[in-house]
A and B are shown apart, each in its own frame.
Chain A
Amino acid sequence: MITDTERMNSPSHGDIQVVEDVISRLHALISIAHLNIDLVPRLLKNGVDIEIESSVGAIKIPACAGCKAYKKDPSEAPYTMYKVTGHPKYYLDCLHCPICFILGDCNSDGSRWASAYALAMKGKKDKFIEVAKAAITRLKAAVARWSS
């Protein structure tokens, strides 16, 4: 059986692609947040396709499942985010809606998702953008580490 450490040290091409997709989603969310932070939680709640002309192109962000999909059986959770963060509480499904991940404190059971959602709901635009950019930096560092 492959260990968690081995998983972290052996990213697949699919892992890298997933993380690069998330980086694009975060850039798209930052663009929306700059215009109107109130739109961010409303759009994520529904799921949204974002198209930004002449920059990142078309981005699809499915509605957040609140990470509850794996609550019943966490052993089924994929490990891409574990490889990024080194902590098993981040699961691949978090990447579908990066609002949890940008705060870096998703508990995988949906409890922290509520607080992340609240951050955008409260209109804390500067904080939202700050942590989104920090998340991009972390993700890029992971990709660079994997590629070296």
Chain B
Amino acid sequence: MSVRLSDMDSPSGKRAVISGPSGTLTLWYSYETVIGFQDGNLPRVVSENLWSTTTGKHLNAISIKKDRIKRAEFERLLAAVMAKHIK
């Protein structure tokens, strides 16, 4: 398993690419909160914005507003994909 961490447009935004037996999972963080993820080549899943202007910029960097989903639904999907990739 490997993890590759890199900055987005600023140090407050991070991208973590986790590769393992179940494939590749990309996580986008704003500060310490996961705001989006992508399971392999499946469509990117992005949370609605519940936070600051800075996090809004991070969200804009990875998505358009109409594609974002409710936070509760996002967290449910995130938990499932994390369980799949990182046992």
Q: Do A and B come from one complex?
A: yes
Q: Taking the complex as formed, is B4 at the interface, i.e. its CB lies under 8 A from any CB of chain A?
A: yes
Set of chain A residues within 8 Å of B77, measured between Cβ atoms: none
Q: Is the CB of B32 within 8 A of A53?
A: no
- How long is the Cα–Cα vector from A70 to B45 in the complex, in angstroms? 45
Set of chain B residues within 8 Å of A36, measured between Cβ atoms: 16, 27, 29, 32, 34
Asked if A35 meets B86 with Cβ closer than 8 Å, knowing A46-B20, A51-B2, A54-B7, the reply is no
Q: Is the CB of B16 within 8 A of A35?
A: yes
Q: Taking the complex as formed, is A119 at the interface, i.e. its CB lies under 8 A from any CB of chain B?
A: no
* Interface size range on B against A: 10 to 19
Q: Is the CB of A50 within 8 A of B32?
A: no
Q: Mark A44-78, 1 if CB is under 8 A from B, else 0.
A: 00111111111000000000000000000000000
Q: Taking the complex as formed, is A39 at the interface, i.e. its CB lies under 8 A from any CB of chain B?
A: yes
Name B1-28 residues within 8 Å CB distance of A: 1-7, 14, 16, 18, 20, 27
Asked if A35 meets B1 with Cβ closer than 8 Å, knowing A43-B86, A46-B20, the reply is no
Q: Taking the complex as formed, is A124 at the interface, i.e. its CB lies under 8 A from any CB of chain B?
A: no
Q: Taking the complex as formed, is B66 at the interface, i.e. its CB lies under 8 A from any CB of chain A?
A: no
Asked if A49 meets B7 with Cβ closer than 8 Å, knowing A35-B16, A35-B29, the reply is no
Set of chain B residues within 8 Å of A53, measured between Cβ atoms: 4-7
Q: Taking the complex as formed, is B76 at the interface, i.e. its CB lies under 8 A from any CB of chain A?
A: no
How far in angstroms is the closest Cβ of chain A from B4?
5
Q: Is the CB of A51 within 8 A of B20?
A: no
Q: Is the CB of B1 within 8 A of A49?
A: yes
Say which residue of B1, B3, B29, B32 sits within 8 Å of A51 (CB atoms). Answer: B3
Set of chain A residues within 8 Å of B3, measured between Cβ atoms: 32, 39, 43, 48-51
Q: Mark B67-81, 1 if CB is under 8 A from A, else 0.
A: 000000000000000
Q: Is the CB of A48 within 8 A of B2?
A: yes
- Identify the 4 closest CB pairs spanning chains A and B, nearest first: A49-B2, A53-B6, A42-B86, A51-B4
